[in-house]
Structure 1
């Protein structure tokens, strides 16, 4: 069998390798390319805040007395005017009966004084005294009725009750806590913004909140009130927003992340961050047009996870080099490979 002399084998291999390198160089380097995508981009102010009940009150007794009956359960939803608690009203009812009897007597005395005055058998002073006694007795009756009414404690508005602080048979002092009542729909969101952002905030501006309890979910609300005075210590402004909570999944007191929506661009162009090439104080991208590289300056907007908004310099449908731009130069031919994520 005929064989090449061993010294000739290496030069032949080098010739073949050199031929492949020249062919590859003639076609240009291999680069990954992407195209700009349209998506919603927001300018947001990020801060933190707390959820609060729309209305919150601690139900208390206005008078002293013994708890006769509880008419609610802990955690119960109630309507405005529902009876929550009854105090022992025996003394108040007795006082009311006494006041009613005194009023009856005062009215009869006033009627006799009027009759005697008309006949000339009495003077005006006696009539005035009888009328004054009648009015005082009416006031005493109204006071006794108010005391009796206060033995019945009602819900001031619709909401959800918390945990009770008393039991049947307890003797309550005036102002003693009984149970808290919370309005859970809507909820308030209290947060603060720095002084430099005050001019960007307005009433009815949309917000979104997120919290660890519901990862990946965003709850939408709007700004309802702005404190006109800034805090002198932190130079921040207090803001209050509201959001719906019909399913009552959100609870007062929760710590939340607040995003104030300053502006929205629903058709903004975004590209991967790795496609941007800094050159001095400019930002550039490498476009591929007819398989050749073209260098173009761009202006960027908002940045987000792995992507950046392009305000100026590229258009929808342009082809940009996302990987391999370090080995190209303007006018060079390139071989194209699409990025795996399709962006």
Structure 2
């Protein structure tokens, strides 16, 4: 019995050993076959390396303000008698906007005018009689003083009447009216806001290291989320005379043309300043770069026809703009570079080009429209 059991165990061991040995042999043969087989052809997208102009730029965020803007208010207290504008109107300089009740002031003005007329007649009469010795010099001097006094009072009353008429100090667009006819206004109470919109100012800050790149009359472009895809142009008009000791930033002011009145004071904008002369760089889509701690690289496509190979080369990358990156060394203009599909590649791998779908390559891309956003 024991002998039969031993024979069975030996037989089982031999059988299992044979199976394992056969599997090991098959695996070894498969590895040899795979090692000797050519690598699979990988499908990639490619882009042409182009020599393009790069304008060095400075970027900041800023706030728009009007060249001329103010809150309209009355110089004197009074009751609103008439309103001569509607909210949102475009008005010209000197246009009458609000009339305060002025009956008493007008009556006082007429009284002052009558006093001036009387004083002038008295002075003229005394001036004719003085050479004849019929009035003394003191009487003539008193008449002249009285005339000057009444004329001063007349000017004071004229100024009082003038202040009851509130006029536009400059041309622009009226905001929302906040007063009504019959309302009593204290001096200084806001009536509406008035903003000149043909040109706007944008104030922004840049770090002190950029001072050497700044100068008046540099070109500026402004982008605002209210008008996606549109750029508004202007120029730098002033640089602050000091650097903020807390932030080490310098304030810069630019003037922006706004002929269509699309921009409004108070808007938050993105500012781009053209700094210095333009440079030329070999340019690729950013997706073409394989970033690694030991060095950045790209895959060049070499060969012709169906025999295309990917060759990995190390590059020195420069500044970026939008979807593009400047290549300072490693790639020549005109080279064909893999722009998508690098994760599947190794140096010398065969490739097939399919450019049906291309990665983005826009120097100034705009974010996609959000659902419900005006187009």
With the length of structure 2 as denominator, give the TM-score of the two structures: 0.74
- 1:59-102 CA distance string (max 9 Å, x none): 11112222111111111111112110111121111111111111
Partner of 2:185: 172
Q: Which moved more, 1:264-273 or 1:157-166?
A: 264-273
Partner of 2:352: 337
**Structure 1 residues 192-271: aligned runs within 5 Å:** 192-263=205-276, 265=278, 268-271=281-284
Equivalent residue for 1:64? 77
RMSD, aligned α-carbons: 3.3
Q: Does residue 342 of structure 2 align to residue 327 of structure 1?
A: no
Give the superposition deviation at 1:295: 7.2
Say whether the 8 Å CA contact 2:232–2:258 is kept in structure 1. no
Please tell me whether the aligned partners of residues 52 and 188 of structure 1 are also in contact (alpha carbons under 8 angstroms): yes
Q: 1:82 matched to which residue of 2?
A: 95
Local SS of the residue matching 2:63: strand
Provide the residue aligned with 1:300 in structure 2. 317
Return the alpha-carbon distance in structure 1 between the equivalents of residues 188 and 310 of structure 2: 80
Q: Compared with structure 1, are the counterparts of its residues 168 and 292 closer, same or farther at alpha carbon in structure 2 (3 Å cutoff)?
A: closer
1:24 correspondence with 2:38: yes
Cα distance in 2 between the residues matched to 1:281 and 1:69: 77
Alignment of 1:59-208 (within 5 A): 59-208=72-221
Unmatched 5+ stretches in structure 1: 1-6
The Cα of 1:248 is off from its aligned counterpart by: 2.0
C-alpha offsets along residues 111-140 of structure 1, whole Å, 9 cap, x if unaligned?
Answer: 222223201233322222211111112222
Structure 2 residues not aligned, in runs of 5+? 1-21, 362-375
Structure number with the higher strand fraction is 1
2:329 corresponds to 1:315 = no
RCO greater where, 1 or 2, for CA within 8 Å and sep 6 or more? 1
Q: CA deviation digits over 1:270-318, x for unaligned, max 9?
A: 1244655679876555656667887766443212455321234433222
Q: Is the alpha carbon distance of 1:129 and 1:195 closer, same or farther for their aligned partners in structure 2, counting shifts above 3 Å?
A: same
Partner of 2:150: helix, strand, or coil? helix
Aligned length: 325
SS at match of 1:220: strand
